[in-house]
Amino acid sequence: MQVTSLQVEAHVPTITRFEEIEAWQSARQLTQRIYALSSQGAFARDFGLRDQMRRASVSVMSNIAEGFESRTQGLFVEFLGRAKGSAGKLRAQLYAGLDAGYIEQALFHELTQLAELCSRQIARFMQYLSNAGAERRLREEYTEYQLPDAD
């Protein structure tokens, strides 16, 4: 019996690094904006709110990354849930910044929209992972199989 080698290429788009995740990219952009905003004027001197908002925005990014690197689908979805929670927490804190006069209405609207985008992206990703099954979470670029020749 002769053995033939067959390579099957994966046709499903694969994320190999957390930096490729759209929700992580949006969270990074949001974090950059929060750090810039909270470094100015009276906001910079409100250490409590400033630090809370910074931690919440970093938490969104960090939980996505940590979940991805956990390499188990169940933990990944759990960490994504934490990231989504942090995005909600940040939205609530944006209201506190608005009410305290640290954030103008237009910027508040822009930042809450970005936080909501992160939240929606995370929710869609969680749903995808829940529906896709573990076999689609991580995938090799190709897999080599040994098949017997049909003589």
Residues 6+ apart with CB under 8 A from 5: 144, 145, 146, 147
What pLDDT does residue 133 have? 64
Q: What is the mean pLDDT of each run of 10 residues along the chain (151 residues)?
A: 46 81 98 97 97 98 96 92 98 98 98 98 95 56 52 53
Domain that includes residue 62, residue range: 3-148
Contact 103, 94 (CB under 8 A): yes
The helix/strand/coil state of 3 is: strand
What pLDDT does residue 71 have? 73
Contact 60, 86 (CB under 8 A): yes
Tokens representing 27 are 């969270």
What pLDDT does residue 81 have? 98
What pLDDT does residue 43 have? 97
What pLDDT does residue 40 have? 96
Dihedral angle at the C-alpha atoms of 125, 127, 132, 133, nearest 10 degrees?
A: 110
Domain harbouring 63, CATH code: 1.20.1440.60
User: Domains in the chain: how many in total?
Assistant: 1
